[in-house]
Chain A
Amino acid sequence: MSGTTTIFKRELRSYFATPVAYVFIVIFLLLSGAFTFYLGGFYERGQADLQPFFTFHPWLYLFLVPAVSMRLWAEERKSGTIELLLTLPVTMWQAVLGKFLAAWSFIALALALTFPIWLTVNYLGNPDNGVICASYLGSLLMAGAFLAIGSCLSAATRNQVVAFILTVVVCFLLLLAGYPIVLGAIGAIAPQGVVDAIAGLSFLAHFESIGKGVVDLRDLIYFVLMIVAWLYATAIVIDMKKAA
């Protein structure tokens, strides 16, 4: 476990050693604010909740999370430090997990810094804080799933731009999996069972279900499984690619 902690600390510190962290946090806060107030009509709705705030998170993450994840392994491969890291006495899992958790904590920090909007809504009215807590949890889990996907695709290439684009595309497909456009297209060629299975993979459906304030174990398990599966794939991809 100590290997994971050490790698976690190193990674997290490296975010703040470069402008990456500050740029990311500022953009995240600005965009989430702009979306909430202008697109979401936070005031105009006249309701004391954070629905307009959380609705846009999947779309914000779609571009911001791959920007964080793209460097996770691609940079290690490009600079050769992957050889240093994996010849230290740590297991592959400690390395994959340490790097992932650092990136996730970093995004959690950015998410936590949106707390003024929570204060605002409590000042303006009496929101259901249980729902807000659940939504924060759902948002964080979804970011984790995006990151795990990004981690795997970052391991697959040494080019960060390629990693970014691949991650955006895969995340976009998983987001839209619950939408009629995708489901309709698949329904035309595949049986109902497949359509249901793909609809079940939708990020949005699970995120919205948690956002209603009902924390269903199935939604939690969905995101946790998603993260574990993609991290497992990350380890496999690293093993395959380092030989080449």
Chain B
Amino acid sequence: MCLAVPAVVLQINLDRTALVDILGVQRVVALDLLPQAVVGDYVLVHAGFAIELISAETAEETLAFFAEFPELAEGL
């Protein structure tokens, strides 16, 4: 029930909503909980609301960390 999916903000509307792209599907979501979102941001969408910014940089850094973490690579 706490499922939330990543989306990209395509357009900010005047009524506290935004048009987002969720894996190829466009949908209007409420921005009440994330008023700072701007076009191009990655956001997490839960039940019709954007609930948090997803940091694309952090996502990539985390992957790079796993890829390079020496202990994880032991024996490979």
Pair from one complex: no
Q: What residues of chain B have their CB less than 8 Å away from a CB belonging to chain A?
A: none
Q: Enumerate chain A interface residues (CB-CB to B < 8 A).
A: none
